[in-house]
Structure 1
Amino acid sequence: MHDAYIPTFFIRHDRPLRGVMIDNQPWFSAYDFARLLGLHHPQSLHRRLKPFESRHIRLRYTTGSEECVDVINEAGLYKALIRFGHPECQQLEEWLTRQVIPTLRDRHADGDFHPRRVMLSWQSQRLVMLEWQGELWMPWEEVPRYRDA
């Protein structure tokens, strides 16, 4: 068993979502995700899922501190999204599917020969780009546009 995992932080509406890779699978803080869903008792989300969809792990932060947290796997994440709903459900699902999960997987991928997603900060925004063959790429619809004043 792994001693402690170093989380990757994703931010949505000023709220963090901590994610880690365990055995090449993405796992997320159950508490963080419950807060994104607006649940009144975020500490109990993991209890409402099947045993194989959640687990208890230790996270180690760059400050050297550690914390024990409950995490849910990708299946549990989508089950909670459907079961508990949210006014922003579609956008939250798109953010998870298009940015969070691929970025988490890419950060833990082996080898530099495959394309991987990277996050860049630019003008107080986060841009998700694809790094491939030494070049940065992004979908045309996400390219920042210049607007005349």
Structure 2
Amino acid sequence: MQVRKIHEIRTVTFADKPNDPWFVAADVCRALGVYMRIRNGYEEVRNDFLKKNLNDVEHLLSPIPIRGEGGQRHKRQCVSESDLYRLLMRSDKPEAKQFQDWVTRDVLPAIRKDGMYVKGEEKVLTGEMSLDEMTLKAVGG
């Protein structure tokens, strides 16, 4: 298992599934300003809301032991990549709104029109990239 931190959100990947990241639920909810509450003086995730709004509750119900910065192991609830996107789409934070706009303005329309999205293809419309450059990028060149 490997733990990385991206924008204060710890990402957990397992050796047998390196392309299937999980994200520490408390980090995600704190960053997005959703589903958190103060209880007995401590900030915690509102599991009732997460269970109701997420698809993959496997690691909410069975927390993953993660080594902290001091080397101690703590069990943490995690959310899947698809549920991370679900939470991003529910947040009202400006950073989340930028992501929501990109997905709904660029990615989803491209998939509907072309059957796929190539990262950065909106740059062709703005003139930042030529069609030839994008084609090379799309085929991995």
Query: Scaled by the length of structure 2, what TM-score is found?
Result: 0.50
Query: Scaled by the length of structure 1, what TM-score is found?
Result: 0.47
* Larger strand fraction of residues: 1
Q: Greater Rg, structure 1 or structure 2? A: 2
* Larger helix fraction of residues: 2
